[in-house]
Structure 1
Amino acid sequence: MRLAGKRALVTGGRQGIGRAIVEAFAREGAAVTTCGRGPRLEGLDKNIKWYPLDVTDAAAVEDLAYTTDGTDILVNNAGVQVEKTVTDSSDADWDAVIGTNCKGVFNLCRAYIPRMPEGGSIINIGSISGTVADPSMALYNASKAFVHGLTRSIAVDHGPKIRCNAICPGWIETGMLDAGFDLAADPKAARQDALARHAMRRFGRPEDIANMAVWLASDEAGFATGQLFTVDGGMTAASPLNPGLF
C-alpha cells in the first residue's frame, strides 16, 4: 500500500499502459481518478472515478482540475500515434498528435501544478521514440521529445515542491506496437527481428510500465526528479548488430 492516502489522476486510462497504471495505483491504496474520451469504462472498479475529457481542450482540463481540487499524483499518459513521415503528414495529423501528446500534457501540468501539494509527483509517459527515431513516425517521435524537455523544465522550475519524471517505454504489447509492425514489408519477420534485439527476448507489457509508475509516485522515489527512466527490455542498450545472428 505504497500510495495509501494519496490521490492520483491518470489520463488515457481506457486501455493499455494507462489502464495498467490505474489498476496498479488502486492496488497500492491510492484514490484514483482517470479520464478519456467517451463514457465510463466497463469493468472499472466502482471506487475509481471516471471523467470524460479531451486533454487538448484547455478549458475542460481547467474545469477538471477545479472539480477534483488538485491531486497528489498526476500521470500524463494520453497519447496518439500516426504512422507517417513528415512529407506524408497532414495538418490534421499535426493537430491530432501534437495536440494530444504535447498540448495535452502541457494543459494538464499547467492546470494541476498550482493545485498540487508539497511532495506531489508528476509522471509523464514519454518514449524511447523521443530519443531514437522510429521510422515513419515523425510527429510521434517529435512529440515525445517535447514531453522529455517539458519534464526536465517542470522539475527545475517547480522543485522541491513537486517532482517530475518521465517513463520512456520501449516496445510494449499494445495496439500501437501492432500498428508499427504493420508498416513493415514483412510484419512477422520485423517482429522476430525486434524480439532478437531485446536483451529480455520479449516485448514489454503494460504492467512493466505501471510498476515503474508506482515507484515514481511513491515516497520511495523522493530524490528522483527531472529524469527519463527507460523501460525497454534492454533494446536501446544494444548495438545495431542483431544479437540473434551471433
Structure 2
Amino acid sequence: MTTTHIAFVTGGSRGIGRAIVERLHADGARVATCGRGDRPAYLPDDVVWEQADVASPGDTERLVARTRDLLGPISLLVNNAGVLVAKTVADATDDDWDLQVGVNCRGVFNMSRAVLPEMTEHGGVIVNIGSISGVVADLSSALYNASKAFVHALTRSIAIDHGPRVRCNAVLPGWIETDMFDEGFALAGDPEAARRDAISRHPAGRFGRPADIAGIVAWLASDEAAWATGQCFTVDGGLTAASPLRPEAF
C-alpha cells in the first residue's frame, strides 16, 4: 500500500471484517473499527474499537468524529458490516426488513454520508463489500440479495457523484468460509453433501477465505488502483463464470 491511510472498517469483529482490519494494519494503516459487541481480543492495542450500530445515523456520526479526534480524518472507509436474513419475500416480516435493510443498506449509506464531506475536500477511498448474491440470487434470501444489489448501485453513484477526489468500488465475494457461510449451509437438508457439491462448482477448487477478500480491498485502497472507480469486482473462485450444466450431462 503506497498511501498511508487512516482507515475505518465496519463490522471488524470477525470473518471478512477481521481479515481486512488485520491486512490494513499490517500494511501500515492507522485503523479504527466497530461492531455491536465488546472489543475483540484479537485487536492490537493501537487499533481503535467503538461499539456501535451502523444503522443508526447518530452512531455513524459519532464513529467518524471519534476517529477524527484519535487518528485524524478518515481517508479509507471499508463498509463491511452485514447481516443475513434467510427468508423469502412471503415469509419475511417487517422486523426482518428493518434488520436487513438497516445494516446492509442504511449502514453503508450512513457511513458513506458521514465521511464524504471530508473526503471530498482531502481525497479518499471507499470500498463496499457487496456479494455475488446481489447479481445471482440465493434461494430463500430475498432481502439479503436485494440489499447487496443496493450496495452495488450505491457504489456506482458515489463514484460518479464524488469523483475525482473520492474513488468508490465494491468487492463481490462468493462463498467465503465465515460464520455466516456456515449458517447458510446449515439450512440444507444434508449440509455435508451441499458443501461437497458447492466446492465442485468452483474452478478454484476451494471456498474463499477472508484473507482473499482482504487482499483485493488492500489493492483497491492503494495507489496501484488509482484508475479503478465505480466498479464491482467479483471474487468468487470462478463460481459465477461457469454454466449451470454439469460435466456428467455430456
TM over 0.5: yes
User: Distance between the aligned counterparts of 1:167 and 1:101, measured in 2?
Assistant: 14
Deviation at 1:4, TM superposition (A): 5.4
1:67 aligns with 2:66: yes
Q: Work out which of the residue numbers 89, 101, 108 in structure 2 matches 1:86.
A: 89
* CA offsets 1:30-68 (integer angstroms, 9 cap, x no match): 001011112211121111111111001101111221222
Structure-to-structure mapping, 1:90-129, within 5 angstroms: 90-116=93-119, 117-129=121-133
User: Distance between the aligned counterparts of 2:139 and 2:191, measured in 1?
Assistant: 14
* CA offsets 1:110-132 (integer angstroms, 9 cap, x no match): 01111225441100000000000
Q: Work out which of the residue numbers 188, 193, 197 in structure 2 matches 1:193.
A: 197
Structure-to-structure mapping, 1:12-27, within 5 angstroms: 12-27=11-26
* CA offsets 1:109-161 (integer angstroms, 9 cap, x no match): 00111122544110000000000000010000000000000000000000000
Q: What percent of counterpart residues are identical? A: 61
User: Distance between the aligned counterparts of 1:132 and 1:59, measured in 2?
Assistant: 34
User: Distance between the aligned counterparts of 1:84 and 1:43, measured in 2?
Assistant: 33
User: Distance between the aligned counterparts of 1:232 and 1:118, measured in 2?
Assistant: 33
**SS where residue 122 of structure 1 aligns?**
strand
- Of residues 113-122 and 52-61 in structure 1, the stretch that sits farther from structure 2 once superposed is 113-122
Distance verdict in 2 for CA 1:46–1:132, change over 3 Å: same
Maintained 8 Å contact 1:193/1:242: no
User: Distance between the aligned counterparts of 1:105 and 1:135, measured in 2?
Assistant: 24
* CA offsets 1:160-183 (integer angstroms, 9 cap, x no match): 000000000000001111111122
Q: Structure 1: 5+ residue runs without aligned partners?
A: none
Distance verdict in 2 for CA 1:243–1:58, change over 3 Å: farther
Distance verdict in 2 for CA 1:83–1:74, change over 3 Å: same
Number of residues paired by the alignment? 245
AA aligned opposite 2:118: R
Partner of 1:32: 31
Maintained 8 Å contact 1:55/1:108: yes
Partner of 2:223: 219
User: Distance between the aligned counterparts of 1:140 and 1:3, measured in 2?
Assistant: 35
AA aligned opposite 2:51: P
Maintained 8 Å contact 1:123/1:164: yes
Distance verdict in 2 for CA 1:93–1:244, change over 3 Å: farther
1:156 aligns with 2:160: yes
Maintained 8 Å contact 1:167/1:229: yes
AA aligned opposite 1:95: D
User: Distance between the aligned counterparts of 1:147 and 1:4, measured in 2?
Assistant: 25
User: Distance between the aligned counterparts of 1:103 and 1:138, measured in 2?
Assistant: 17
User: Distance between the aligned counterparts of 1:149 and 1:244, measured in 2?
Assistant: 37
1:173 aligns with 2:172: no
